[in-house]
């Protein structure tokens, strides 16, 4: 009786795994085929031979390791990389840790990706310095690494596909200045003070205001962890403390949604110029309704697409530029549905 | 009375011990076989080393948590105490330029101190462990951010610190057998934990308090003192985890650590530690920690979509505890 139950439970455990494996039988077969090919390509001494072997991109496998996976932004990056995979006939997987503080979890993902013997790896490091030893391992195994988004702070990467966040946030500052008439008090909510994007967007915005607009005063900069609820509370406190506040900048999706919630809850719609970053349904709706003046959008789909495209080029032995600027755009009520902007926004 | 209770305990412990070992170990073997059959990339030296390395920090945290859970308590602060310890190690070595051994002591000491506070709050102020350690979860998380100055502390000036976890003494003895020291540290810590749990007064009272705190108190044991010691020990292990993770990442990451306590608790519970106290083994916990990282790694190697990886991990946790309940019924 005892052993019977034990066997039954173990069997169900195996069944779960079997089911999962069965979900992607084609993928399994592809991995098994791709592995020897990629290994052979990597071992080939003459670059031309490697290029010839890899030119058949059908069996090329490229894991994409991002900084997250469940946020809309990363889903848009995923969409872009999947599109590139389809266009170029390669196979990708997309994964990232659950929160942007889990540096060690991301390292483990990178480790597993290298163990799968891929043709190339796309990687957006949470902390470049912590990832260097593994990247060196990838280099030793002749696996090209392509950086994307915040990229990898090392010359091991062949290239980095990313937004110039400093320039983008400075553009937001210019828009803010124009909309509030070049004077008054403004406040900023940033997602965090430790990540590259957080630092770049804050500094890009703050420095532009300081350099070009002496009559604008940034009265408060707060950090909400990109968490909508926390950012809401912060923004509310700022709005209540500063009745004369003329403008509010939110440096990522979570931050700006917090600002929008606060403005709405305090019934200050239209009284404060709100400028955001990235997109998402709530932000798009707010811009259409006029509660948000506009936002900077990166091109997440382009980031995903260009990093996979660069990875394929790297495997083929093509030379790549040091960075691939994936661009940014200002969008507001007037151009939100235009052909140029619409494809870049995600819901 | 005082001598009797532990004696009875250890006898029943021996039985459950053997059974649970078999179950968890069986499950681990099954996982290994399944993953090896499904992917040629799973059973490779590099990947196995990857699994061992991924187990090391969670394993060390789980060792400490095992003591607390056996004593009938819970510790939700191990993840962030680990972070705070890592940061303090960084502050000592990088910011203050003190010798590395002192930095390691700072990490362990920070952990033990947090545990001392936990234990005191629980046993003297009579605050339930869940709340007391939840408080410490926040306190240590905040302090980690404060002491680090809100940014990672890197150990770039002391390259040797990285070798503490990532160097390989084994590799130096047996060429090619490059198992990182972090893994050895975990096994060493497990041996120490097993010794304390099975061969010392502290271990005996851990079981006694977990089985029947009131009876233990009535038999003249200073429960408050021993409870405080148990929490201090648990957090000292978290401190060790902090030193290892700092060495592994070559940096103390101040924002890391929230949620790690749940992985540690899961490892202990999968390994047969009873959440109602009085039961558990170190070997079980180590196997539990391996089970979790093997599962995570295997699903990754199979390219199972990430969202499904999380679901499967949850299912396995419930299954493991269910096995435990089945075992109890049969006794």
CA distances to A165, B75, B129, B134 from B122, in Å = 48, 11, 6, 12
Distance between the two ends of chain A, CA-based, in angstroms? 54
Instruction: Count helices and strands (H / E) in chain A.
Output: 12, 12
Biggest alpha carbon–alpha carbon distance for chain A: 82
State the complex-level ipTM. Answer: 0.72
Where does B72-168 have alpha helices with state H? 78-90, 100-123, 129-148, 159-166
* Domains observed in chain A: 29-163+301-327 (3.40.50.2300), 165-298 (3.40.50.2300)
Are the beta carbons of B203 and B196 closer than 8 angstroms?
Answer: yes
Structure-token pair, residue A142: 């002749």
Please count the structural domains in chain B.
1
Compute the residue count for chain A: 347
Contact B323 A9 (CB under 8 A): yes
Are the beta carbons of B153 and B90 closer than 8 angstroms?
Answer: yes
CA distances to A82, A162, A259 from A87, in Å = 9, 21, 39
Measured between CA atoms, how close is A82 to chain B, in angstroms? 14
Interchain contact B316–A (C-beta under 8 A): yes
Instruction: Provide the strand spans (E) within B230-278.
Output: 251-252
The CATH number of the domain where B135 resides is what? Answer: 1.10.3470
SS3 assignment, position A221: strand
**pLDDT at residue B245 greater than cutoff 80:** yes
pLDDT at B138: 96
**pLDDT at residue A29 greater than cutoff 50:** no
Are the beta carbons of B63 and B190 closer than 8 angstroms?
Answer: yes
A129-133, Cβ contacts within 8 angstroms, sequence gap of 24 or more: A129/A153, A129/B152, A129/B154, A129/B156, A129/B250, A129/B251, A130/A103, A130/A104, A130/B249, A130/B250, A130/B251, A130/B253, A131/A106, A131/A107, A132/A156, A132/B250, A133/B166
Structure-token pair, residue B49: 């080393």
pLDDT at A247: 96
Contact A112 B50 (CB under 8 A): yes
Pick from A302, A293, A296: which is nearest to A280 by CA?
Answer: A296
Q: Mean pLDDT lowest for which of A42-56, A67-81, A122-136, A286-300? A: A42-56
Q: Mean pLDDT lowest for which of A19-33, A246-260, A299-313? A: A19-33
Minimal Cβ distance to B27: which of A13, A113, A192: A13
Q: Per residue in A246-273, pLDDT tens?
A: 999 999 988 999 999 999 888 898 899 9
Q: Per residue in B87-107, pLDDT tens?
A: 999 999 999 999 999 999 999
User: Where do we find the tokens 């362990």?
Assistant: B108
Strands A160-162 and A323-325, bridge-based pairing: parallel
In degrees, to the nearest 5, what angle opens at C-alpha B92 toward C-alphas B89 and B98? 125
pLDDT at A58: 60
Q: How confident is the model at residue B21 (pLDDT cuts 50, 70, 90)?
A: low
A 127-146 residues inside an 8 A Cβ radius of B: 127, 129-130, 132-133
Task: Average the pLDDT over A202-221 and give the result.
Answer: 95
Measured between CA atoms, how close is A1 to chain B, in angstroms? 9
Closest Cα in chain A to B20: A6
Q: How confident is the model at residue B6 (pLDDT cuts 50, 70, 90)?
A: very low
The gap from C-alpha B15 to its chain's centroid, in whole angstroms, comes to 24
Structure-token pair, residue A84: 């590139």
B 267-286 residues inside an 8 A Cβ radius of A: none
Q: How confident is the model at residue A346 (pLDDT cuts 50, 70, 90)?
A: confident
- Domain encompassing residue B56: 4-330
Provide the whole-model pTM: 0.75
Closest Cα in chain A to B331: A2
Who's near B157: CB < 8 A, 6+ residues apart? Answer: B94, B97
Are the beta carbons of A57 and A88 closer than 8 angstroms?
Answer: yes
pLDDT at A12: 54
Contact B34 A28 (CB under 8 A): no
Pick from A53, A128, A65, A116: which is nearest to A308 by CA?
Answer: A65
* Secondary structure (DSSP) of A42-57: HH-SSHHHHHHHHH-G
Structure-token pair, residue B160: 């040797």
Structure-token pair, residue B304: 């199972």
Who's near A76: CB < 8 A, 6+ residues apart? Answer: A300, A301, A304, A346
Contact B150 A14 (CB under 8 A): no
Average pLDDT along chain A = 83
Compute the residue count for chain B: 331
Highest mean pLDDT among A5-9, A118-122, B44-48: A118-122
Biggest alpha carbon–alpha carbon distance for chain B: 59
Closest Cα in chain B to A223: B150
Q: Which residues of A77-100 are buried (b: 16+ CB within 10 A; e: fewer)?
A: bbbbbbebbeebebbbbbbbbebb
SS3 assignment, position A62: strand
The gap from C-alpha B140 to its chain's centroid, in whole angstroms, comes to 17
In degrees, to the nearest 5, what angle opens at C-alpha B211 toward C-alphas B205 and B217? 55
Interchain contact A32–B (C-beta under 8 A): yes
**pLDDT at residue A10 greater than cutoff 80:** no
Q: Per residue in B113-157, pLDDT tens?
A: 999 999 999 999 999 999 999 999 999 999 999 999 878 898 988
């Amino acid at each position: 009786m005892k052993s019977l139950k034990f066997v039954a439970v173990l069997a169900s455990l195996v069944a779960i795994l079997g089911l999962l494996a069965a979900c992607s039988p084609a993928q399994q077969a592809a991995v098994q085929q791709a592995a020897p090919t990629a290994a052979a390509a990597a071992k080939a001494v003459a670059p031309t031979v490697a290029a010839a072997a890899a030119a058949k991109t059908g069996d090329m496998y490229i894991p994409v390791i991002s900084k997250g996976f469940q946020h809309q932004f990363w889903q848009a990056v995923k969409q872009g990389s999947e599109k590139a995979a389809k266009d170029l006939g390669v196979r990708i997987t997309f994964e990232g840790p659950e929160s942007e503080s889990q540096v060690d979890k991301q390292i483990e993902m990178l480790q597993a990706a290298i163990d799968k013997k891929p043709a190339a790896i796309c990687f957006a490091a949470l902390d470049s310095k912590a990832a260097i030893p593994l990247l060196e391992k990838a280099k030793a195994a002749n696996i090209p690494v392509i950086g994307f988004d915040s990229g990898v702070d090392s010359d091991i990467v062949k290239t980095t596909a990313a937004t110039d966040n400093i320039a983008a946030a400075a553009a937001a500052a210019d828009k803010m200045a124009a909309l509030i008439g070049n004077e008054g008090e403004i406040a900023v909510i940033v997602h965090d003070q430790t990540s590259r994007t957080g630092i770049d967007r804050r500094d890009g915005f703050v420095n532009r205001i300081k350099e070009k607009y002496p009559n604008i005063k940034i009265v408060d900069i707060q950090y909400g962890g990109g968490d909508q609820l926390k950012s809401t509370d912060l923004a509310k406190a700022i709005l209540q403390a500063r009745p004369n506040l003329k403008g509010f900048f939110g440096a990522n999706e979570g931050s700006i949604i917090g600002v929008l919630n606060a403005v709405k809850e305090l019934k200050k719609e239209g009284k404060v110029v709100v400028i955001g970053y990235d997109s998402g349904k709530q932000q798009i709706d707010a811009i259409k309704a006029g509660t948000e003046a506009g936002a900077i959008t990166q091109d997440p789909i382009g980031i995903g697409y260009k990093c996979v495209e660069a990875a394929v080029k790297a495997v083929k032995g093509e030379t790549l530029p040091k960075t691939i600027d994936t661009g940014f755009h200002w969008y507001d009520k007037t151009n939100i549905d235009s052909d140029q902007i619409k494809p870049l926004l995600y819901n | 009375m005082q001598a009797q209770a532990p004696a009875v305990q250890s006898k029943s412990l021996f039985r459950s011990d053997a059974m649970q070992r078999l179950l968890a170990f069986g499950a681990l073997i099954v996982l290994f076989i399944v993953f090896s059959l499904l992917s040629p990339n799973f059973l490779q030296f590099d990947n196995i080393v990857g699994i061992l390395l991924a187990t090391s920090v969670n394993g060390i945290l789980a060792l400490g948590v095992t003591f607390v859970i056996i004593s009938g308590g819970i510790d939700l602060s191990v993840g962030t105490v680990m972070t705070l310890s890592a940061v303090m190690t960084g502050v000592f070595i990088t910011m203050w330029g003190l010798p590395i051994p002192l930095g390691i002591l700072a990490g362990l000491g920070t952990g033990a101190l947090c545990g001392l506070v936990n234990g005191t709050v629980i046993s003297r102020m009579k605050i339930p462990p869940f709340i007391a350690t939840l408080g410490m979860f926040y306190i240590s998380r905040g302090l980690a951010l404060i002491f680090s100055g809100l940014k990672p502390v890197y150990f770039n000036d002391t390259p040797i610190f990285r070798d503490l976890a990532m160097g390989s003494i084994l590799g130096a003895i047996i060429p090619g057998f490059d198992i990182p020291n972090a893994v050895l540290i975990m096994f060493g810590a497990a041996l120490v934990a097993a010794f304390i749990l099975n061969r010392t007064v502290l271990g005996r009272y851990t079981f006694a308090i977990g089985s029947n705190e009131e009876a233990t108190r009535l038999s003249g044991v200073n429960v408050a003192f021993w409870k405080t010691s148990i929490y201090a020990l648990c957090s000292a292990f978290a401190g060790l985890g902090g030193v290892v993770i700092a060495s592994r990442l070559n940096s103390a990451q101040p924002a890391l650590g929230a949620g790690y306590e749940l992985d540690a608790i899961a490892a202990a519970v999968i390994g047969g530690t009873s959440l109602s106290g009085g039961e558990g083994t170190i070997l079980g916990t180590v196997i539990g920690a391996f089970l979790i990282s093997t599962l995570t790694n295997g699903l990754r190697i199979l390219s199972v979509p990430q969202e499904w990886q999380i679901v499967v991990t949850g299912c396995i946790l419930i299954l493991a505890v269910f096995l435990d309940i089945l075992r109890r019924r049969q006794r």
